[in-house]
Amino acid sequence: GSFFSSEVGLTVDAVLAGAAAGARPENWHVTGGKSPLDYLATQANAYANRGPAAAGKLAVAVTAAGGDPAALGGVDLLEKIRHSYQPATGQYGFSNWDQVWSILALRGVAESVPLTATRHLKSTQGNDGGWSFAPGIPTDVDSTGLALEALVSAGEPITSTAIVQALNFLHNQQLPGAGFPGNSGAVSANSIAYAVQGLIATGQNPLENAWKKDNKTSLDALIALQLSNGSFAGITDPNDLPATLQATAQAIPALFGRTFPLKGRGVAVRQALAWMRTHQNTDGGFPAFPAQASDLGATLDAIFAIAAAGQNPDTWRPDGISPMDFTATKVASYTTRTNTTAKLLLAVVAAEHDPSSFAGTDLIAQVTRSYTTTGQYGHNLSDHAWSLLALDAVHRPIPRPALEWLKAQQQPNGGWDMGFGTDTNTTALALQALAVAGEPVNSTAVLSATHYLHGQQNNDGGFPYTKPSAFGTDSDANSTANVVQGLLAIKQDPMSSTWMTTLTATEAITLTQYDPETRLLAFQNTTGAFRFQANDPGDSPLATYQAVPALLERPLPVMRQTVRLYLPLVTRNP
């Protein structure tokens, strides 16, 4: 699983590159071999013992790839970083790179950084505005770019004196042709990449005129260093494989406009589940909105999240009452409609209870007897789609006419609707139902639906409920999560280039690539909960419940199983 024999650092850079590109390095395998993260797990202790910079960079890479930096090969990388901290000075380790990678690692898991740590980093800034690898040696572009990322991630205002002086340093270092020099003074792919990341972190657009030289951008300068085989020349000999591999790996995050630390799905899920535990009501249920009474629909969504994470809902028992206990008390009132009955059945199956006799009710029978001679289950599209998912969950055959009925409801624009115009949520639900009913992923219906969703996607990578809409078209966490599940159901990768977008020149930094999962991660608050929209900063229980299965890449129907986001971040309870 390693890159270039046993050089751990190159493998760490490769994992960071893959994660920044949405390429899932945790799944990379040479035929019959192990993944890069498998290899890093075997090297974690020895590599982290080199110092906080190594431990921090490794933690940033593991987090970005969906793993748990507190449990990599039995090593708690974060604890090693904390142990290196000197409270009196605010210093991690000894070098500036120890400091920046420690800060980035802690911020990658949403851990606060002591104010004395950021003060220490600012105190090591050179008179010219730059930073060096360690105090006492000349300042350089690479260290300055990393320091900017670390300071901003720790909450330093982008208008602060330290940030402004560092940007002036980078301006002064920029070469003709818009590149940046390495330590030799020659243009360097590595240095361009670190500078670009530092600029983006501080809200600077590297493609703007302010950062052009000779009418070229830093991106132009970086691409000019790319060789015919796709790699980027190292700082010395292009035939020097380790240097070329390092330059290539370090160039990729900049090419995608991604800054460190990258948010990781594994950490996000663990924090969301922790938030859910503290917001479960004493009756075992979950609220739809903060500090409200338990709601069965919301509780079912929470059960999906818990089961998707490989946990047993029966073990979530504040005051001795589980979500399934709460659910059992609501069966009679919740099974008056087909769609709610089917959703309940899905949750019962996800929790590994018997849907043929749950709280004295045969949920399977209730769903199946709603089938009509027209091929429809229930009375509307919601009834029908949820019924198909329920049938699949209990391994019952889905009649061919039921599939055809669902396809017939597709609108000319490729979406599905609930009677109020097509929307992303209904379309995502329909796609999941089509998938379990056996519709080929390359069928006209599926392709038309993906075309519709492309048209609904915002430039930030996320999705609104629908657009145009009198109620606004900003991306929201719920819709984005639903679409991610819909795409996964039809074997589309929501992190692939197919679903990557960029902002326009009038919106913000135009270099950064956005995808649905990255956008979904950005909705997470420091509490671990997810907000509904960017401009609605409060913790949203519904958004949190719905985000978890999407981030775990579990479309409906959700089945409880051990989750392996590289390492068993969350394991199945007995």
Task: Give domain limits for the chain.
Answer: 1-83, 265-551
Residue that the structure tokens 């505005």 belong to: 129
Q: ∠ CA(371), CA(377), CA(381), 5° rounding?
A: 165
pLDDT on residue 135: 87
Structural element, H or E, at residue 423: strand 422-423
pLDDT on residue 564: 45
pLDDT on residue 572: 30
d(CA 574, CA 563) in angstroms, rounded, equals 14
pLDDT on residue 506: 55
Number of other residues whose CB lies within 10 A of the CB of residue 314 = 16
Q: ∠ CA(404), CA(408), CA(414), 5° rounding?
A: 120
Q: Given its phi and psi angles, is residue 487 left (phi above 0), alpha (psi -120 to 50 degrees) or beta? A: alpha
d(CA 219, CA 207) in angstroms, rounded, equals 7
pLDDT on residue 509: 65
Tokens (6 digits) for 168: 């002036």
Q: What percent of the chain has pLDDT over 90?
A: 88
Structural element, H or E, at residue 86: strand 85-86
**pLDDT one-digit tens code per residue, 350-366:** 999 999 999 999 999 99
Q: Is the pLDDT of residue 466 over 90?
A: yes
CB distance 167 to 204 below 8 Å: yes
Average pLDDT (15-22) is 95
Average pLDDT (462-471) is 93
pLDDT on residue 567: 33
Name the amino acid, one letter, at 261. P
Average pLDDT (496-515) is 79
Tokens (6 digits) for 116: 């004395």
**pLDDT one-digit tens code per residue, 401-439:** 999 999 999 999 999 999 999 999 999 999 999 999 999
d(CA 40, CA 307) in angstroms, rounded, equals 29
d(CA 528, CA 267) in angstroms, rounded, equals 9
Q: Is the pLDDT of residue 573 over 70?
A: no
Average pLDDT (113-140) is 97
As a whole number, the mean pLDDT across the chain is 94
**pLDDT one-digit tens code per residue, 294-309:** 999 999 999 999 999 9
Average pLDDT (187-205) is 96
d(CA 41, CA 412) in angstroms, rounded, equals 50
> What are residue 72's DSSP bridge partners?
75
**pLDDT one-digit tens code per residue, 312-352:** 999 999 999 999 999 999 999 999 999 999 999 999 999 99
Q: Is the pLDDT of residue 566 over 50?
A: no
CB distance 222 to 193 below 8 Å: yes
Task: Name the more confident of 66 and 574.
Answer: 66
Characterize 134-161 residue by residue with b for buried, 16 or more Cβ atoms within 10 angstroms of its Cβ, and e for exposed. Answer: beeeebbbbbbbbbbbbbbbbebeeeee
**Bridge-based pairing state of the strands 85-86 and 91-92:** antiparallel
> What are residue 514's DSSP bridge partners?
501
d(CA 473, CA 355) in angstroms, rounded, equals 38
Q: Is the pLDDT of residue 202 over 90?
A: yes
Question: Half-sphere exposure of residue 420, counting CA atoms within 13 Å on the CB side?
Answer: 12
Sign of the alpha-carbon torsion through 287, 481, 460, 443: negative
d(CA 200, CA 260) in angstroms, rounded, equals 10
pLDDT on residue 571: 32
Give, in words, the CATH class of 265-551.
mainly alpha
pLDDT on residue 344: 98
